[in-house]
Amino acid sequence: MKTKILLSLAMMALIAIPVFALAENGFKVEGKGYFYYLHDASKGDAQSNSFDLSRMYIGAKYKLSDEFMVRYLTDIGHQDKTGKFEAFAKYAYVDWKIRNNLNILMGLQGTNNWKQPEKAWGYRSIQYSPMEKFGKYWGDWSKAYAKYLMSWAENPATNTTDSLKLVRRHENFTTASRHKMGASADMGINVKCKPSDNAYVNLMILNGSGYKHTEDDMYKNFQLRSGVYLLEKAVHISGYFEVEPWRSIDESGAEKSYINTQWDVLASYTQKDKFTLGVNANSKLFSGIQEINAMCFSVFVNAYLLPKKLKALARYDMYDTGFNDADVKPGDSKWESNGGLFIVGLDYVAHKKVHIIPNVQILTYEDSDEDPVNSVYVHLHFKL
């Protein structure tokens, strides 16, 4: 894997030399990286520190004509299970301009779910958008609940009939929750429409399995994102809705179709070169034998302390996983799985393409006795 990554970087470097000369001919190289130092300041002996590179993107855009543009982007990051670096395609699509206000994108591309909130938040280099971060938090609890269902089924005190129902519920739940809150890119078709300079509507039909996986069922994921800019684009209001059909067994063992639904609402206000304030709420209903309704609410702000040189930033997320209302074994206490994330930091603009961002992030488990995870970071964000 290291060899593949080095070869990819070497090839991009060799290509980039003549490519910059082609920029005027419609060829543009793009790239950025997220390097950081982390000190885990949690309680006890669990404290640790490390340097790491969380993400690196290298790619290019090429304008074939006034109607067609192609884009490819390589994403280099850690594998989920082993932590080793891997290189994979993030974007590989054709953008077809039908007319001035209508485009069709075909191939591997960014999704509609959290692109706008991520842009409004503005600091993907230090933390995911609210919905994506919530998805990772929720994903850990969903794995724990799936394991709990199997443990309940295998308990000697559980009769045979109930045990079989719990096994089926486990299969049903793992199918419903396998995509969590979605992925940042996927394979499909995107119709992008701009009714005016201040409004947009994007409709996507996707596999639903994400850019790291092939299609895993016969169903498709449908996403609609629309928004409007007001007050000379100082105010941005955006809404999102998603439908995700899937199929599994019910408690009787019969095949049955279900539908997960998800929504997101964003409102932000920006005064250029001064500050941005945003509010973001999102929720996903995981259908199935037992419904799980997960919800996240976030507020964030950044403001210049020194014009074009130094910003202060802050964000707070509230996570309601839905597992606190989930069924538990008779005699067991209800789950305490809700939490929150607090971020505060400074953004020093060393160069227009180089940002140094010291920040503190505190992940709390608000209705349980678990200690918070206190992380002190210094992030370096650089781009071509």
Mean pLDDT, residues 135-149 taken together:
97
How far apart are the C-alpha atoms of 359 and 315, rounded to whole Å?
A: 11
Q: How do the domains of the chain map onto residue ranges?
A: 2-383
Mean pLDDT, residues 229-245 taken together:
98
349 pLDDT above the threshold of 80:
yes
Query: pLDDT above 70 covers what percent of the chain?
Result: 93
What is the reported pLDDT for 7?
47
44 pLDDT above the threshold of 70:
no
Query: pLDDT above 90 covers what percent of the chain?
Result: 84
What is the reported pLDDT for 10?
47
Q: Give the CA distances from residue 60 to residues 27, 72, 90, 358, in Å, rounded to whole numbers and listed in that order.
A: 7, 6, 12, 30
What CATH class does 2-383 carry? Answer: mainly beta
How far apart are the C-alpha atoms of 334 and 328, rounded to whole Å?
A: 7
* DSSP β-bridge partners for residue 62: 27, 70
Helix axes 160-177, 130-154, angle to 10 degrees: 160
Q: Give the CA distances from residue 309 to residues 62, 173, 356, 358, in Å, rounded to whole numbers and listed in that order.
A: 33, 49, 11, 14
Mean pLDDT taken over the chain: 92
Contact between 244 and 228 under an 8 Å Cβ cutoff? The reply is no
Largest distance between two CA atoms of the chain: 73
How far apart are the C-alpha atoms of 62 and 70, rounded to whole Å?
A: 5
What is the reported pLDDT for 30?
95
Weakest mean pLDDT among 44-58, 101-115, 344-358 = 44-58
What is the reported pLDDT for 14?
45
Q: In this structure, which long-range contacts are made by residues 105-111, counting pairs with CB atoms below 8 Å and at least 24 apart in sequence?
A: 105/189, 105/190, 105/192, 106/189, 106/190, 107/187, 108/185, 108/186, 108/187, 108/211, 109/185, 109/186, 109/188, 109/190, 110/184, 110/185, 111/182, 111/183, 111/184, 111/185, 111/186, 111/204, 111/206, 111/223
Contact between 259 and 287 under an 8 Å Cβ cutoff? The reply is yes
Mean pLDDT, residues 170-180 taken together:
96
- Residue 258 confidence class, pLDDT cut points 50, 70, 90: very high
Condensed to tens digits (0 to 9), the pLDDT of residues 184-214 reads 999 999 999 999 999 999 999 999 999 988 8
Condensed to tens digits (0 to 9), the pLDDT of residues 178-190 reads 999 999 999 999 9
3-state secondary structure of 135: helix
- Residue 24 confidence class, pLDDT cut points 50, 70, 90: low
Weakest mean pLDDT among 15-29, 78-92, 109-123, 259-273 = 15-29
Condensed to tens digits (0 to 9), the pLDDT of residues 101-117 reads 999 999 999 999 999 99
Contact between 143 and 80 under an 8 Å Cβ cutoff? The reply is no
5 pLDDT above the threshold of 90:
no
How far apart are the C-alpha atoms of 89 and 59, rounded to whole Å?
A: 9
